Structure 1
């Protein structure tokens, strides 16, 4: 990207638009510089920043924290020279920046003042509201973005209207994007050939993150985003629109109740009964009661499409639930194998940003008569060098 200060501002901006609770502010030696503050203002608050912004209450909090960090950076610099209205910086140049008269940027102060003047509804009222979250895909090829400057490129991104603080509502957890989906998405970005030109079914699509990723950024031939909740599917339409997919012929939305036999009933409707190549499921093993129905659905899919690649991403927050998935799957003669794919430490991530207090595990599922022969001849060949061993083969 160029200079270190640009990298720090870039990371800070990506975290901001993902509404991360804790941001990595640029270093104090950069924050006090006019050029850096101007860049932050342009990216976060300026007229050319992303149109889909975090909620106003979050923007206000970050604006206040940013100003406090800048003021601290100026106050704590031992070699500064003060006057009544500004600080003169002694050093002439640093990391490509010209050091000029310094204070908190007028633009940043104005942005904060405008947010302070905004009438915000009570926090309890907005706790159930959805807001825009933008996930930047650091493992996808960068694209030219005029908002990034003449010589800079931007990561492809996915914008989701969701409630990041909501665990469950209306009997579903599908109103927010979970870490398991982000982790599986990184795996797919690293192994694009699994999706390019393929027909994909996303089970329990939730906010549609994986379906949008495959349809818009990984060049899938067709994607079916399925879920059993009417509320989730209604919200999904908004997210498709935010990502320019509302009229896409390459993406369909389907209500699919696990274990109901709907897989076979809806088979002909899915791209005219064309074969499925890939089935995805992220955070679909958390509820022990739903696991038998999930296994039945996977069996039906593999009976219809025995050569399909089935990839499951699970956060091991409930060991009993995950073990039940593995045990019932094997009892029903499914082959379930662990895919080694490391989680990147939070401080080393470039987007999307996610961390879990529990391990995120990827599995591939195949039918009894396909099993290891398919796994070794197909998926394993496509895994590239970014996949690293992690743990044993199953648990």
Structure 2
């Protein structure tokens, strides 16, 4: 994978999270910052443990992404049905590089007594309680925007007094600090952390799959699209550097869909004009998230997957020689994936129908004839590898949801 700095990973993650819900912009950062301050004050946690917990806390609401368009903030503040915590826990266990901290997410909306029953490990127990404390206080702050800082501080102190009668310094409420200051202080902690390439890949997988897994219909798309694009890049003879750029550009191409309502993504009917404009906005949102965090080469691969050779694509209507071969490959890979998947509005198409549609698009001047010829020469190979990628990720999707429903059923008995 092309190198991404810790700073770039952090910025991509934060920008993505801030598109989930306008009312919760900065929530993940504020809670992570508050928890980090409490962990440091606690004295039992190493700097490496604190950084791993910060990454975990940034994703603590990941279980709500699949219904982000219907979040009820009051319900989140007083959440007795911790379904999103259960789902988030299972999701993080599956993809997250620091899965040992997934229990923080699982129990951050349960009672303190339940935390004590479920987490005998003293440090995990205490970190979970810190997350509960800061999360509840920040949601109170979000839900009561007319409260003064002094009133929010009093609420925070009241929570601390009830749950931590001794040992916590609450002279100032951590999430009331300046937002830019919070961002920079978290960045200082994270940017020097030693992350292996595998851990960085897992963090990106956690972010991207949290968006894809909002719906069964979107769960397969990124994996299938990446596999189609990378396979075509190899068959087209691209260099190793270009193939890596194709991989990362393809993998990040739909980050902006984190801001698109699920009912629009899953609509079984043709989108009306307003819905279509919302859907198309995912590309410019992706651009906003990625700009300055990846090379321009990768950025343009990611945001040009809906552009066409004849200039009728979006968002910028660019055409012809402006589109590089890697960009043309990813555009075709995106179409191959979309046609090969079952969607809310269509079945999965067999390879013969996929090729017929692509040939029609090529005759209309929309896609690259060279890329199409390479695909045509290897259509069975490409189609098989794309379907295999979809099958692999679908098995993971089904396993996560089966475990989630088993856990939910066990708790309701």
What TM-score do you get using the length of structure 2 for normalisation?
0.36
Ranked by relative contact order (alpha carbons within 8 Å, sequence separation 6 or more), the top structure is 2
More strand by share: 1
What TM-score do you get using the length of structure 1 for normalisation?
0.37
More helix by share: 2
